[in-house]
Structure 1
Amino acid sequence: MVMTKVAPKKTVGNFGKLTAKMQRYREEIFDAKPYVDPERALLTTEAYQQYQDQQVDILRARVLEHILQKMTIFIEKDTLLVGNQAQHNRWAPVFPEYSMNWVIDELDTFEKRSGDVFYITDEAKEQLRKIAPFWQHNTLEDRGYAAFPEKSRLFYDLGLIGADGNITSGDGHIAVNYETVIKYGLVSYEKRIKEQMDQLDLTDINQQKQLYFYQAGLIVIKAVHDFADRYAQLAEKEAADATDQQRKDELLEIARIMRKVPYQPADSFYEAIQAVWFVHLILQIESNGHSVSYGRLDQYLNSFYENDVQAGKITAEKATELLTNLCMKTLTINKVRSWAHTEFSAGSPLYQNITIGGQTKDGKDAVNPMSYLILTAIAQAHLPQPNLTVRYHHGLSDHFMRQCVEVIKEGLGMPAFNNDEVIIPSFIARGVKKEDAYNYSAIGCVETAVPGKWGYRCTGMSFINFPRTLLIVMNGGRDPESGKQLLPNYGHFTEMKSYDELFTAWDQSLREITRQSVIIENTCDLALEQNYPDILCSVLTEDCIGRGKTIKEGGTIYDFISGLQVGIANLADSLAAIKKLVFEEKKITQQELWQALTDNFQGPGQEKLRQMLVNDAPKYGNDNDEVDQLIVQAYEPYIDEISKYKNTRYGRGPIGGTRYAGTSSISANVGQGHSTLATPDGRFARTPLSEGCSPSHSMDTDGPTAVFKSVSKLNTKAITGGVLLNQKMSPQLLRSPANCEKLVLLLRTFFNRLHGYHVQYNVVDRKTLVDAQEHPDKH
C-alpha cells in the first residue's frame, strides 16, 4: 500500500499521548538516579598511559577509540534507538583530561549539594582517587590556569570575569554537519580524508601536521563504525534470547541498522534518526562541552520521512514515536560540573537544541511535515531536554504559530523563538554567505551559528559581571570586597561631580575589563588547541578535512565567538537611580548611597533609601527612554571594544575570526549575583542579578509590550551572540483561544516591527513553583 503525503493537522493542539512503549521508557529514565560514573575516566587514563608518546591528534583519536572499544553498552527494553553515554542512563562520566582537581575535592560533597545533586559509590571514589596522581599538573585546568598572565588571573580568581567552564571542560557550543552524515555516511568522510592524504608533501612541515590529523580522522571513523557494530552484536544476542516476537523483530531491525549507519548512508527515516543520535552521542563521549546541538532537524530529516510515507514504510505515528525516543535518549546524557561551574549552569542542562521552521536558502518558508511532528514529539515527551527553537520569519503561517503556542502552553519553556529578520542580516553583514546565513540554527540556548560550518562557542566564552564592574568603578577601580586594585582609579564615586564623570570612568574601565576578558579567552583557547583537539567533531565540521586542521586550528568555514555580559537590567536601573536621584534631583547624597551599598541597606534609615532607589527611579523594561537609553549607552563601550580583538583562529582560514557581544547568560546571573555586593538599583547583596536582557524581577510593571519596546532599543544587530529575553505567563491566561491569538500577534509585532532577536515563555503557576521547591525530583 502506498500512503499519501502527510499534511499538517488542521486542528490546533491535540498532540496525543506517548505510545505505551515510550511512556515506560520515559518513566525508566526519570526513575534513574544521577550517579558520577568513573568508567570513562579509567579508560581515558589507560589510553593516555598507552599512547602518550603520540602526536596530540592521534593521541586524542586513540583515547576515543579506546573508550568506544571498552565502555559498557546496553540496550534498554523499550528503546528503538541505541547508544549510551555511561554505564547507566543519567550517570555522568568524568573527563579527567580536562580537570581532576575539583572532582577529587568534591567527591564527598556531590550528594550534599543544594542543587544538581549527584550520587557516587565508595568504589567510584576510590577508583578516581587512584588515577588522580596521573593527572596532577596534566589537565586543561592546570595548563590553562598556569598560562593566565598574572593580572588577568586576578580578574578570574575574583570572579569578575567567569571562565570556569572554559578550562574545566571541552568546548561544545556547536552543531556538526548531520545532513552530510545521513546522506553520504562516514564512508564519504573516510574517502575524502584518504584523497587528501594522497596529495600531501611530507617535506612541508605544515603538511606533515595535516597527516597526523588525517590519520586521527581515520582512527575515529573506524572507531565509530566498530562501536556501532558492538550494538549490532548485542542486539542480535538479545534477539536470540527474546521470548516476545515483537521485541525480537525490533532487536533484529536495530542490529541491521547498526551494521549500516552511520558509516553508510541512511536510506530510511529510522536509519537517519539512529545515525543522528549515534553521532550526537559520540560527540559528547569525545568531549564534555555542553550545547552540542542537532541543528535544523526538520530540514534534513523531512525527505527521509516523506519518502518513507510515499513508499508505505512509515506512518506519522511511528515517526513521532521515534522522535520521542530521540528526545528521551537526549535526556539520558548528563554532565557533572564543578560546584563553581554549576552555579553558572544550574539544573544540569546540556542545552542540546533542535531548530525548526525558518526559511530555505532561497528565502521560502521552510516549515514542513517534520516541523509539525517535532512539535508533537516535544509536547508528548514533555522533557527539559532537548531544547526547541523555532526560527521566526514574517512568512511563518498563523497555523504553525498557533501550534507553537499550544506547545508553549505545556509549560516547558519551549519553543523559544529566534528572529530571521535580525539574525540573517547580521550574519551577512559579518561576511557569512547568504545561503549559509539562511541555514543558521540555534546552538545551545539563544546563540546562533551555521551548522556544520561554524567553530566552537559562537556564544559561551567568558562572563563579565556588569553590576560588579560598576561597583568597582565607583570605588576608584578597587574591588570593594577583596580590596584589590583591578582598574585605573578615575576617582571615587563620593567625589565625582556629575553623572558624566561616572560614565566616563565606566567607559574606560569597561574597555579594560573587556581587554582582560580577551586575554583570558585566548589563554583558554590556546590550551585547548595545544592539548585537547576534538577529532571527530572536527572531521564532521567543514572544512577541517579540506584544510587539514582541527577546529581550534582554524579548520572551519566561519569562526566568530562571543562572551556573555551579565546583569544588563541591574546596570540600567542602577545608572538611572544614580543619575536621577543623586545627580539630578539630589534626593540622595553620594555618601549616603555609597554607605548604604556598603551596609547592604541594613543601616539606620537605609531601607527608606532603598525604597527610593526601587520606586522613585525609572526601570528598564517599561519603554522609558530615560533608562533604556542609559543602558544602550553603557553597553556601547563593550560592543565597540570587543570588536577590535581577533580570536586565535583569525587569519588561519575561517571567515571572521572576530568577536561580538551576547547576553545569553543562562543561570550565570545567580552565580555572579552571589559574588556581587548591594547595587544602586536597590538590589540586596548576594541575590541573583537579572538574566539575559530581561528586566529585573518585578521591575517591568507596564506589561509585555513595554518590555518588548525596551529590549528592542538595544543594538541587537551588533549583539550577534544573542539577546536573550525570558517572559513569564500564567497558564490561566492561555486557556482562552482569543488570548492565544493575541500572543501570536504580540510575537509578530515584536519580531516584524520592533526587530526583536529572541523570546521564550515560562508558563507556570505559583502552585507548581512552590511544589517544585518542595519536591524538586518531581520537576
Structure 2
Amino acid sequence: MIMSETLTKTTTTINHFGKLTPMMDRLRDSIIDAKPYVDPERAILTTETYRQHQDEQVDILRAKMLEHVLDKMSIFIEDDTLIVGNQARQNRWAPVFPEYSMNWVIDELDTFEKRPGDVFYITEKSKEELRAIAPFWKHNTLEDRGYASFPEASRIFYDLGIIGADGNITSGDGHIAVDYKNVVNKGLKWYEDRIKTALANLDLTDFNQQKQYYFYKAGLIVIDAIHNFAKRYAQLASKQAQNTTSATRKAQLEKIAQILNKVPYEPANSFYEAIQAVWLVHLTLQIESNGHSVSYGRLDQYLAPFYEHDLKTGAIDANGATELLTNLCLKTLTINKVRSWQHTEFSAGSPLYQNITIGGQTPDGKDAVNPTSYLILRAIAQAHLPQPNLTVRYHHGLSDKFMRECVEVIKQGLGMPAFNNDEIIIPSFIRRGVKKEDAYNYSAIGCVETAIPGKWGYRCTGMSFINFPRVLLLIMNGGIDPESGKRLLPDYGKFTDMTSFDQLMTAWDKALREMTRQSVIIENSCDLALEQNYPDILCSVLTDDCIGRGKTIKEGGAVYDFISGLQVGIANLADSLAAIKKLVFEEKKLTTTQLWHALTTDFADEDGEKIRQMLINDAPKYGNDDDYVDDLIVEAYKPYIDEIAKYKNTRYGRGPIGGLRYAGTSSISANVGQGHSTLATPDGRHARTPLAEGCSPEHAMDTDGPTAVFKSVSKLSTKDITGGVLLNQKMSPQILRSDESCMKLVALLRTFFNRLHGYHVQYNIVSRDTLIDAQNHPDKHRDLIVRVAGYSAFFVGLSKETQDDIIERTEQSL
C-alpha cells in the first residue's frame, strides 16, 4: 500500500491542508534553491542530428532529433522523489533549442546574469560550446526563416513593436493539452498500433499518402524513443536500488523501475502509474519543442478512476495520493525556459504556463467535482509553487463546500486557483461548431485561454500582440509613428485637425481594421515557417485526429483549430478615449493641440503636469461601472472583433472544424514590455511606463470596489472574446481572515459568473507592505508568490519594474 509519511496532528491544526511530507519538503527545498543555468546539452545533441540527417524528410528529421536527444541526454533520479524524469542536466536548468533561434542566444551569452529579472547563469564552457555550434544555425533557424517570410509592408509593424510576435519565431508553439486520458488508459502502444495499421493501408503512388508515410514513420520513431527513454530511467532506478543502504529507498527505487518498464508504453493500472505516465509524456513534449503553455488538461477527471480503484483495494490512501500529486507539482517546476530578453519582457517570471484544470461539468451537465479534485487542491496548497497553474471551471452547480475549499487555496497567496466560467465558455464553443460533449470537456491551456484537450490545434491564443494605445497614438499623428517618423497607416486625419470625437472614432475603426489585417499576415508567416520546417511529431501523434488524417497539427491534423491574438492596453484605451471625448470635445477644457503637445513632451512642463492631472482626475475611468467609459471600450473593441473573424488561419479547409480567429485579452506581462515602446497616452500615463494588464482596470483607477470592476468587465463582449478575458484582482490577506469574509468572496464570485456572465477572475492575496519588504529583503521572501497576469511567479525573481507594477495594483476589499 502506498501511503505518505505520517502527518502529525499539530501540523494539520496549523495548516488547513496539512504540510508536505518530509521527503517532498526536502525535494521542494532542493528545487527552489537550484540556480537556473543555461544548459547547452540539448543544443549540442540537436545539432548532431541535423548535421547527420539533413537529407531526411522534415518529419523524419524531427523524429530522429527527439530520438537522439532522449537516447543521449543526461538523466538522473533525485534522492527525494517518487516520480522521475528530467528536462536538463540539473533541475531548473534551461535547455537551448537552436533550431528555433540562436542569434539572441549568442548575443546575450554575457548578459544572462546581468538581467534586471529572470536571471540565468552560464559557465564559460557552456558559452564556448554554444558558440561552436552557432555557425551551423546561421540562416537556418525558425527566427531566420520566420522573419524573412514577413512581407516588407508588414515587417515594419513587427520591427517597431506595434505588433509583437517575437515568441512565435523564437520558439515552438505549445498552448496545447494532448489526450492524456488515452495515454493513461491505452498507453502509447495503442497509438503505435493505429499508426502501423494506417501505414499498412497506404498507397504510395498517391502523393498525399506518400506525405502521410513520412509522418507515420516519424510517429513510430518517437513512440519507440519514449519507450526507450522510460527504460533508461528504469535501469537507472534498478542500479540505484542495488547501491542504496536504505531499505525504504531501495523499495521506492524498485517500484520506480517496475513502473517505468511499463508506462507510458503500456496502459496504467494504478494511480501511481498514471501520474508517472502523464509526467514522462508531459516532460517529453517540452523536450521536443520549447513552446510553452503545454498543459495537463482535466487532471481530476482522468486520474479519478485510478484513485477510486486504488482506494477501494487499499493500494493507496488520501495522504499517499496527495504526496504523488505534490511530487508531480514539484517536478513541473523543474522545467525551465530561457527566452530572449525581448521575449522575457512579455513573460516575466520565467513562466511555462503549465495548467491543471479541475471542476466543471460532465457532458450531461452534472457537477464533475470528485475526490481527486479535492486532492489536487490540497496538493497545490502544500507544494506552494507558482507552477503548475491551477484553474477551476466554475458553473452554477458548483457546491459551496468546493468553492470554500478553493478560497482556502486562494488564501495561501498563490494567485491560484483562477476561475473560468462554464456558463460563458461552453456556449461560446458550441456556437463555433464544437460538439457538445467536447465543449463540456474543455480545459484551460496556459493562462486563461481554453481548448478541448487532445482535439485542438496549437495556440488557441498568443499568436501576436497588438498594442491598442500605440495604435491610438499612431492615428492621432495621421498614420505616422511619432517616434520613428515612418508612415504606417493612411492619413485618416490628424488629431490636431479634428473637430469632433466621431472623427477620431472613424479613424480608429479604419486603422484598427488595417492593423488587424497586418497582424494576420505576420501570424500566417510564422505559421508557414513552423509548418514547413518544425513539425512536432509526438504532440501531433497525441492529438486527434492527426493519425487518422496522416497530418501534423500545423498541416490540419487537429479536430478543432481556432486561434487568437492578444490585445494589450485595453484599460488605457478606454480611459484615453473617455478623457479625449469629455475634456477635449465636450467640455473643451483642452484643445487638440494642447493635448497632443502634452503627450509628445511626456507632460514635461508645468502646463503638461496640469494637463496630466486633469486627464487622471476629471474624466471617467474604466472599472467603476460607468457606462460613459465602459461603452467606449466596447465600441472601440468591436472593429477588431468584427475584423479578425473575417480571416482564416493556415489550416482552414484542410480538415479541422473552424480554422478561424477570435479575440483574446490574456496579454501575460506584455503590458510592461509594450509600455516601454509607448509614448505618453491621453489617460495621463507617462511614456515608457507599463500599460494596464489583461482586461483589468488601470492601477488605482478602479475606486468603487470589486463589484464595480466586475460590472465594467462584464460589459465587454465576452461571448466573442473566446481567447480569454483576463481579470486580476488584489486583496490584503487580512480580508479573508474570517469564515464570513470567505463566504462573501464565494458570493461575489457567484454574482460575477451567474448574473454578470464574467469569463475569468483570479486573486493576488498579498499585502502591499509584504511586497515592498520583499523588494528590500529578497532573501527573506524567496518563495513569495504573486499573480503576474494569467500565471504566478516568485516575486523576488521579477524585475523591479514588474514588481512595481504589481505593487501599484488596486487593493480591493469585500
Query: TM-score, normalising length from structure 1?
Result: 0.98
Alignment partner for residue 648 of structure 2, among 642, 646, 649? 646
Q: Does the Cα contact within 8 Å between 1:712 and 1:756 map onto a contact in 2? A: yes
**What percent identity do the matched residue pairs reach?**
80
Q: Using a 3 Å threshold, how does the CA distance of structure 1 residues 2 and 640 change in structure 2: closer, same or farther? A: closer
- Cα–Cα, structure 1 residues 2 and 509, in superposed 2: closer, same or farther, change >3 Å? closer
Q: Quick check: 1:68 aligned with 2:63?
A: no
> Structure 1 residue aligned with 2:196, among 194, 208, 220?
194
Partner of 2:468: 466
Contact 1:727 1:762 in 2 (8 A): yes
Q: Distance in 2 between the 1:659 and 1:609 partners? A: 40
User: Which deviations, in whole Å up to 9, do the C-alpha atoms of 1:222-254 show, x marking residues without a partner?
Assistant: 000000000000000000001000000000000
Are 1:14 and 2:33 counterparts?
no
Distance 1:98 1:362 in 2: 43
The answer to whether the 8 Å contact 1:573/1:620 transfers is yes
- Counterpart in 1 of 2:49? 47
The alpha carbon displacement at 1:776 in A equals 4.4
- Matches of 1:304 and 1:398 in 2, distance apart? 26
Query: Which secondary structure does the structure 2 equivalent of 1:464 belong to?
Result: strand
TM-superposed CA distance for 1:773, in Å, is 1.8
Aligned residue for 2:213? 211
How does 1:542-561 map onto structure 2 within 5 Å?
A: 542-561=544-563
Which of 570, 576, 579 pairs up with 1:577? 579
Residue equivalent to 1:773: 775
Unaligned segments of structure 1, at least 5 residues = 4-9
- Using the TM superposition, give the Cα deviation of residue 736 of structure 1 relative to its aligned residue in structure 2, in angstroms: 1.5
Give 3-state SS (helix, strand or coil) of 2:419's partner.
strand
Is the 1:620–1:627 Cα contact (8 Å) retained in structure 2? yes
Does the CA-based 8 Å contact 1:12-1:403 persist in structure 2? Answer: no
**For each residue in 1:408-453, what CA deviation from the matched residue of structure 2 results, as whole angstroms up to 9, or x when unmatched?**
0000000000000000000000000000000000000000000000
Q: How far has the Cα of 1:12 moved from its partner?
A: 13
Amino acid of the residue matched to residue 573 of structure 1?
A: D
Cα displacement (A) at 1:767? 2.5
For 1:332-371, what aligned pairs fall within 5 Å after superposition? 332-371=334-373
Q: 1:775 Cα shift?
A: 4.3
Corresponding residue number in structure 2 for 1:701: 703
Q: Deviations over 1:285-304 (max 9, x none)?
A: 00000000000000000100
Deviation at 1:167, TM superposition (A): 0.1
Q: Mapping of 1:2-401 within 5 angstroms?
A: 14-401=16-403
Q: Quick one: which amino acid aligns to residue 527 of structure 2?
A: D
Q: Which residue of 1 aligns with 2:799?
A: none
Q: How has the CA–CA distance of structure 1 residues 103 and 519 changed in structure 2, closer, same or farther, with 3 Å as cutoff?
A: same
1:461·1:561 contact (CA, 8 Å) conserved in 2? yes
List per-residue Cα deviations over 1:713-770 (Å, max 9, x = no partner). 0000000000000000000000021111100000000000000000000000122211
Which residue does 1:443 correspond to in 2?
445
Query: Residue 142 of structure 1 aligns to a residue in which SS?
Result: helix
- Tell me if the contact between 2:63 and 2:219 (Cα under 8 Å) persists in the aligned partners: yes
Question: Helix, strand or coil: the match of 1:659?
Answer: strand
What SS does structure 1 have at the residue aligned with 2:567? strand
Distance 2:397 2:544 in 1: 30
8 Å CA contact retained: 1:2, 1:310: no
2:732 match: 730
What are the Cα deviations for residues 5-27 of structure 1, in whole angstroms up to 9, with x where unaligned? xxxxx999720000000000000
Name the aligned partner's letter for residue 499 of structure 1.
F
Secondary structure, counterpart of 1:346 in structure 2: coil
Alignment of 1:533-682 (within 5 A): 533-682=535-684
The runs of 5 or more residues in structure 2 that have no matched partner are: 4-11, 785-814
Q: Which residue pairs with 1:7 in the alignment?
A: none
Report the Cα offset of residue 774 of structure 1.
Answer: 2.8
1:745 corresponds to: 747
Shift of 1:772: 2.7
- Cα deviations across residues 566-612 of structure 1 (Å, max 9, x unaligned)? 00000000000000000000001111100000110112321111111
Q: Give how far 1:2 is off.
A: 13
Code of the aligned partner of 2:618 = D
4+ residue segments displaced more than 6 Å: 10-13
Contact 1:422 1:755 in 2 (8 A): yes
Q: Secondary structure at the match of 2:658?
A: strand
Q: Structure 1: how far apart are the matches of 2:750 and 2:548?
A: 42
Following the alignment from structure 1 to structure 2, what is the Cα–Cα distance between the partners of residues 570 and 94?
Answer: 36
Total equivalences in the alignment: 773
Correspondence for 1:414: 416
What does the per-residue CA deviation read over 1:269-309, in whole Å, with 9 as the maximum and x for residues that have no partner?
A: 00000000000000000000000000000000010000000
1:736 & 1:467 partners in 2: Cα distance?
41
Deviation at 1:212, TM superposition (A): 0.2
- Contact 1:12 / 1:402 at 8 angstroms: preserved in 2? no
Q: Which residue of 2 aligns with 1:490?
A: 492
Determine the C-alpha separation between the residues in 2 that align with 1:405 and 1:71. 42
Aligned residue type for 1:395: G
> Which residue identity does 1:591 align to in structure 2?
T
1:687-725 Cα distance to aligned partner (Å, 9 max, x none): 000000000011000000000000000000000000000
Q: Is the 8 A contact 2:178 2:543 kept in 1?
A: yes
The answer to whether the aligner puts 1:715 opposite 2:692 as a matched pair is no
Q: Is the 8 A contact 2:2 2:317 kept in 1?
A: no
TM-score if structure 2 supplies the norm length? 0.94
Q: Deviations over 1:163-183 (max 9, x none)?
A: 000000000000000000000
Distance 1:410 1:588 in 2: 48
User: Does the CA contact (< 8 Å) of 1:171 and 1:289 recur in 2?
Assistant: yes
Does the residue aligned with 1:262 lie in a helix, a strand or coil? coil
Amino acid at match of 2:478: G
* Partner Cα distance (1:461, 1:163) in 2: 7
Q: Is the 8 A contact 1:426 1:720 kept in 2?
A: yes
2:66 is aligned with what amino acid?
A: L
**1:214 alignment partner AA:** Y
How far apart in 2 are the matches of 1:482 and 1:746?
47
CA distance in 2, matches of 1:484, 1:737: 58
CA contact (8 A) 2:2 2:320 kept: no
Q: Supply the distance in 1 between the matched residues of 2:647 and 2:331 (Cα, whole angstroms).
A: 40
Distance in 1 separating the partners of 2:192 and 2:608: 69
Q: Which one-letter code corresponds to 2:230 in the other structure?
A: A
Identify the residue that residue 525 of structure 2 maps to in structure 1: 523
Q: 1:43 to 1:776 in 2, by over 3 A?
A: farther
Q: Deviations over 1:30-69 (max 9, x none)?
A: 1100000000000000010111110000000000000000
Provide the C-alpha distance between the structure 2 equivalents of 1:13 and 1:432, rounded to a whole number of angstroms.
42
How far is 1:362 from its partner?
A: 1.2
Distance 2:41 2:696 in 1: 41
Letter in 2 for 1:664: S
**Partners of 1:476 and 1:490 within 8 A in 2:** yes
1:690 equivalent to 2:692? Answer: yes
Q: Is the 8 A contact 1:12 1:406 kept in 2?
A: no
SS at match of 1:527: helix
1:694 and 1:519 map into 2 onto residues whose CA distance is 28
The residue identity in structure 2 corresponding to 1:53 is D
- 1:144-164 Cα offsets, whole Å, 9 max, x none, are 001100011000000000000
How much does 1:492 deviate?
Answer: 0.8
Q: 1:775 to 1:337 in 2, by over 3 A?
A: farther
Alpha-carbon distance in structure 2 between the residues aligned to 1:104 and 1:37:
13
Partner secondary structure for residue 605 of structure 1: helix
Paired residues of 2:2 and 2:316 also in contact (CA < 8 A): no
Distance in 1, matches of 2:14 and 2:531, equals: 49
CA contact (8 A) 1:242 1:248 kept: yes
Describe the superposition over 1:169-225 as per-residue Cα deviations: whole angstroms up to 9, x where unpaired: 000000000000000000000000000111111000000000000000000000000
- AA aligned to 1:537 is C
1:626-683 deviation per Cα after TM superposition (whole angstroms, max 9, x unaligned): 0000000000000000000000000000000000000000100000001000000000
